[in-house]
Each structure stands twice: as C-alpha cells, then as structure tokens.
C-alpha cells in the first residue's frame, strides 16, 4: 500500500515541470520503472501515470525514461493481458508522450488505438482529456507518421474531434486539432465553409 501511495504522490507532483525534474534528479525514474514492471496493479498504473505526467510536464525527462529501459517496460504493460484497461491506458499515454518527444521513437499502433478508443467515451477520471492531450502532442511532433495515423483511424478521429469541439465552442482544443491535422498533412474544412 505504501508503494502505491508513493506512486500516487509522485503522479500528482509530476504535473509540474520543476517537480518532474526534481523527481528525475532524485532517481525517481528508475523507481517508477521498477514499479511499472514489478509492482501490483495499482502500483503499475500509478507509476505509468507518474512517468506520463513527468514527460508531459518536463519533456527533457524522456531521456532518463528511455535510458532506464522504460520503453520496454511500458510497452509490455500496455499489452499485458492481465492488466486492467486503466493500467494499459496509462502505459499507452506515457509511450505516446515519449514518442512525441523522441524523434527516433515511434508510437505503436496498439498505443494509438488505445488512446483513440477513448475519444468516443464520456470523460471518466480524466482519461479522455489525457488521451486527447497525448494524441495532440504526438500528432504535432516530428515523430508523427501520417500513414500510421490513417491506418489506425486517427485522422478521421481527429477530424471528428475538431468538428465536435468547434461545435461545442471549445476553441483552443479545436485549434489544436486543426494544428495536428495540418501537421499530418490533412486540412479540415471549417464548419462555416461547408456547402450542404
């Protein structure tokens, strides 16, 4: 229980750039990777979310995650048959953030598909929001592969999300979706220019 609580505390602290850098400097990346590999279900999920938050808040921490073997551990967790959906999703989000900060690392189809599956779901514990943010970070990065996004249905999902958020008046998110689509070589037709 203490390790799970510690992973939860690190997850919450890692939302901040300075805290993420401090966690990395104190050897926290190795501890979190060990928990993601060998911990209980709750420890694995908490550790994966903490790593995800660190990479999102302080992109420079990705090097420590890669060097400590985090890609293999998170990939295994995202595909672990006995892992809960939340645990798999946490690992997939961390991997997608890693891919968005490492030009030589690509997100695999499984991770993209896991995150894309959350776009049609109602918000639950922040999973939809976190999935959207990770997907948009990847789509606008130099690591994005338009062919892969088309193959897994990501372009169509981003177009639908852009339309929905524009209609809901969530302008910043609609703009981010449009930026992602342009980055992938796709342009969305703004709702005001449709001819039907």
Residue 152 in this model has a pLDDT that exceeds 90 = yes
| 48-78: pLDDT as tens digits | 999 999 998 888 898 999 999 999 999 999 9
- CB within 8 Å of 111: residues ≥ 6 apart: 78, 92, 95, 96, 99
Q: The whole model's pTM is what?
A: 0.85
The pLDDT value given to residue 196: 41
On the question of pLDDT at 120 being above 90, the answer is no
Mean pLDDT of the 147-168 span: 91
Reported as a single tens digit per residue, the pLDDT across 169-193 is 888 888 999 899 998 988 755 555 4
> CA 182, CA 178: separation in Å to the nearest integer?
6
Q: Is 46 a residue whose pLDDT tops 50?
A: yes
Q: Please report how the helices 41-57 and 2-13 are oriented relative to each other, as an axis angle in degrees rounded to 10.
A: 20
Q: Around Cβ 110, how many Cβ atoms within 10 Å?
A: 15
What is the average pLDDT value for the chain, to the nearest integer? 87
How high is the pLDDT of residue 35?
93
């Amino acid at each position: 229980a203490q390790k799970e609580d510690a992973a939860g505390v690190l997850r919450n602290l890692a939302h901040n750039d300075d805290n993420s850098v401090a966690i990395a400097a104190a050897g926290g990346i190795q501890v979190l990777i060990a928990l993601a590999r060998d911990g209980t279900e709750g420890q694995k999920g908490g550790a994966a979310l903490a790593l995800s938050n660190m990479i999102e808040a302080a992109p420079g921490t990705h090097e420590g995650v890669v060097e400590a073997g985090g890609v293999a551990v998170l990939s295994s967790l995202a595909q672990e048959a006995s892992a809960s959906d939340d645990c798999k999703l946490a690992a997939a989000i961390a991997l997608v953030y890693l891919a968005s900060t490492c030009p030589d690392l690509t997100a695999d189809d499984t991770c993209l598909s896991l995150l894309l599956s959350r776009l049609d779901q109602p918000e639950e514990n922040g999973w939809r929001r976190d999935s959207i943010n990770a997907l948009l970070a990847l789509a606008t990065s130099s690591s994005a592969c338009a062919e892969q996004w088309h193959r897994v249905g990501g372009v169509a999902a981003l177009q639908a999300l852009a339309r929905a958020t524009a209609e809901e008046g969530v302008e910043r998110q609609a703009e981010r979706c449009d930026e992602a689509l342009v980055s992938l070589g796709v342009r969305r037709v703004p709702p005001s220019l449709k001819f039907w």
